[in-house]
């Protein structure tokens, strides 16, 4: 019997990876290519679109060859991609800009103006995309204001996945999922939102045609098909965004299912059967399919905060660990576990890098509160870990107010290597937390979507039958009681400190000029 495979491609911020999965959704081959983030000026963050495109080709070619060598039949390819990217092209399809990525903050003023306006609030309620510099809407506004000649020359405004498909097929198509993260797309009628386009000063002709995640390309340009070693009519499924596909890859496809990811940053995303927006503009609402929506929020401050604490307060231990080939994070977990839940009243607001959801405040700053003579280094470490979970819980509460209770959580990301940290998550949210058996969430989600599109699985809910739960964490009632007491104070602190955050940023700016 012929072995079948589907490739999931994940176009990320610093690398692209291709993962081949067999018919049982088990990863069989993996290949990745890295590329740099380009920071030409303060607040600028870009990619070279040609480097990304070459990375896609290299990853595909390598995995296709591995499949061929092992006698697999490749059924198709499906794509995941990071959201919020923006590229301007001229009328011949030539690049006018690099790819401006989600981390770019040059449009802070435009985003702030939109956020503080009546029309901006209306645009959010229709598009589900928070008014923030990450979003293509304020980025286009910035281009129009800062470089009017380039703006006039631009015939198309597209994202990185659209650029890849334009190069391969000569078509401008955008999936509903990526479109729903632009701030330009009405998530209720699944088409471009006229008010947002008017605000940006562009027309629908300058954007790609929105299509479902199941849209399938065929007839690849011969030169690229030959280079990849595939038939030009091999199905290439357009797919969706990385965040939405991570939910699918974690089997979180039923209403009330949530995925919590903590890597460098963090996110919580809940699956819903219909779109919804938040009057307080705290969360995003993105499309997976017309029947499945992903609501949630991303936080800036995840594992990078723990890394900062390790580097600055555990320097000697880290050097010893390097010499002895020990895991410094194992030692950190043991030290944090020596302190009881609640850190004896010590709280940490984790806004080391400002914050996205739920506050969307780039000026927010981190602080410890309630410091007492009895607190030692381990208390600060545990409070830091708890504070990161509290930050995600505050997003979770905004989600519950919008679309109902979180019923269960699927966890992924680097923090899942720490049982202590995952147990904190279960205790704070007071729900069961499950770890599934894959580390390739978005690529797996893309492959599962591809399998569904190609008829290999009947519906998306069937995807869960292919995944296995590795470990389950049950909440501790007493720990939850303690955490809720601390969380009440955590929530009370932010509004009281908000104006002081801006003053702190101003002081830092003034002192840096001395």
pLDDT in tens, the chain (514 residues): 679 999 999 999 889 999 999 999 999 999 999 999 999 998 899 999 999 999 999 999 999 999 999 999 999 999 999 999 999 999 999 999 999 999 898 998 999 999 989 999 999 999 999 999 999 999 999 999 999 999 999 999 999 999 999 999 999 999 999 999 999 999 999 999 999 999 999 999 999 999 999 999 999 999 999 999 999 999 999 999 998 998 998 888 888 889 998 888 899 999 888 899 999 999 999 999 999 999 999 998 998 899 999 989 988 887 777 756 568 888 999 999 999 999 999 999 999 988 989 998 888 999 999 999 999 999 999 999 999 999 999 999 999 998 889 999 999 888 988 999 999 999 999 999 999 766 678 899 999 999 999 999 988 877 777 888 889 999 999 999 999 999 999 999 999 999 998 888 777 655 555 5
CA distance 387 to 366: 10
CA angle, residues 448, 451, 456, in degrees to nearest 5: 135
pLDDT value for 50 = 98
Cα gap 22→306, rounded to integer Å: 36
Strand partners, 3: 72
Rg of the chain's alpha carbons, rounded to an integer? 23
Give just the sign of the alpha carbon dihedral 87, 201, 356, 128. Answer: negative
Q: Could you give the domains of the chain?
A: 3-250 (3.30.420.40), 299-436+476-512 (3.30.420.40)
Q: Which residues contact 322 (CB under 8 A, 6 or more apart)?
A: none
CA torsion angle 357 360 365 366 (round to 10): 0
The number of residues in the chain equals 514
Residue 82 sits at the vertex; the CA angle it makes with 81 and 84, to the nearest 5 degrees, is 125
In this prediction, residue 472 carries a pLDDT of 96
Q: Residue 359 gets which letter from DSSP?
A: T
> Which tokens is 184 given?
């330009």
Contact 492, 349 (CB under 8 A): no
| Per-residue pLDDT at 413 | 81
Question: Which tokens in the block code for residue 5?
Answer: 């495979």
pTM of the full predicted structure? 0.87
- Supply φ then ψ for residue 112, to 5 degrees: -65, -40
d(CA 277, CA 252): 20
Instruction: Look at residue 103 in the predicted model and tell me its pLDDT.
Output: 86
**Which burial class, exposed, middle or buried, applies to 69 when counting CB atoms under 10 A from its CB (0-12, 13-18, 19+)?**
exposed
C-alpha–C-alpha distance, residues 459 and 44, integer Å = 41
Strand-strand pairing, 257-262 and 266-272: antiparallel
8 A C-beta contact, residue 208 and residue 161: no
Question: 166 — phi, psi (to 5°)?
Answer: -60, -40
Q: What are phi and psi of 89, to 5 degrees?
A: -120, 150
Backbone angles phi, psi at 478, to 5 degrees: -70, -40
Joined tokens for residue 430: 């007071």
Contact between 389 and 425 under an 8 Å Cβ cutoff? The reply is yes
Helices (H), 147-255: 148-153, 160-169, 176-179, 194-200, 222-228, 242-249
């Amino acid at each position: 019997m012929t072995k079948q495979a589907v490739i999931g491609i994940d176009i990320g911020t610093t690398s692209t990876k291709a993962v081949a999965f067999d018919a049982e959704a088990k990863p069989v081959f993996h290949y990745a290519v890295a590329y740099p983030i380009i920071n030409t000026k303060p607040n600028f963050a870009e990619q070279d679109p040609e480097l990304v495109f070459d990375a896609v080709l290299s990853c595909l070619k390598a995995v296709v060859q591995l499949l061929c060598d092992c006698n697999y039949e490749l059924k198709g390819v499906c794509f995941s991609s990071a959201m919020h990217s923006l590229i301007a092209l001229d009328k011949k399809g030539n690049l006018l800009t690099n790819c401006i990525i989600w981390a770019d903050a040059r449009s802070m003023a435009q985003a702030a103006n939109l956020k503080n306006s009546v029309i901006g609030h209306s645009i959010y309620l229709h598009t589900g995309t928070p008014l923030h510099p990450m979003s293509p809407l304020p980025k286009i506004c910035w281009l129009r204001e800062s470089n009017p000649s380039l703006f006039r020359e631009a015939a198309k405004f597209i994202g990185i996945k659209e650029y890849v498909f334009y190069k391969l097929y000569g078509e401008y198509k955008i999936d509903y999922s990526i479109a729903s993260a632009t701030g330009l797309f009405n998530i209720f009628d699944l088409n471009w939102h006229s008010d947002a386009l008017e605000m940006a000063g562009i027309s629908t002709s300058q954007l790609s045609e929105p299509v479902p995640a199941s849209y399938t390309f065929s007839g690849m340009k011969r030169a690229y098909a030959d280079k990849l070693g595939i038939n030009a009519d091999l199905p290439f499924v357009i797919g969706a965004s990385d965040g939405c596909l991570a939910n699918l890859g974690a089997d979180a496809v039923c209403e009330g299912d949530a995925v919590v990811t903590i890597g460098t940053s963090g996110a919580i995303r809940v699956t819903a059967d219909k779109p919804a927006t938040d009057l307080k503009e705290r969360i995003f609402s993105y499309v997976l399919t017309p029947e499945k929506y992903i609501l949630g929020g991303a936080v800036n401050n995840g594992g990078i905060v723990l890394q900062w604490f390790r580097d600055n307060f555990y320097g000697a231990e880290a050097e010893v660990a390097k010499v002895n080939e020990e895991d410094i994070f194992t030692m950190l977990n043991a030290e944090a576990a020596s302190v009881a839940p609640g850190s004896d009243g010590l709280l940490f607001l984790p806004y080391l890098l400002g914050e996205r959801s739920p506050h969307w405040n780039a000026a927010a700053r981190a602080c410890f509160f309630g410091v007492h003579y009895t607190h030692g280094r381990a208390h600060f470490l545990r409070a830091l870990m708890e504070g990161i979970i509290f930050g995600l819980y505050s997003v979770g509460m905004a989600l519950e107010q919008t679309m109902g209770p979180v019923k269960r959580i699927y966890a992924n990301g680097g923090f899942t290597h720490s049982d202590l940290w995952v147990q904190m998550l279960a205790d704070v949210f007071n729900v069961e937390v499950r770890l599934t058996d894959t580390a390739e969430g978005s690529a797996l989600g893309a492959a599962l979507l591809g399998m569904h599109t190609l008829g290999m699985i009947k519906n998306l809910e069937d995807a869960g039958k292919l995944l296995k739960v590795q470990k389950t964490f049950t909440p501790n009632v007493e720990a939850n009681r303690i955490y809720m007491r601390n969380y009440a104070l955590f929530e009370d602190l932010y509004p009281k400190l908000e104006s002081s955050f801006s003053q702190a940023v101003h002081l830092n700016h003034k002192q840096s000029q001395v």
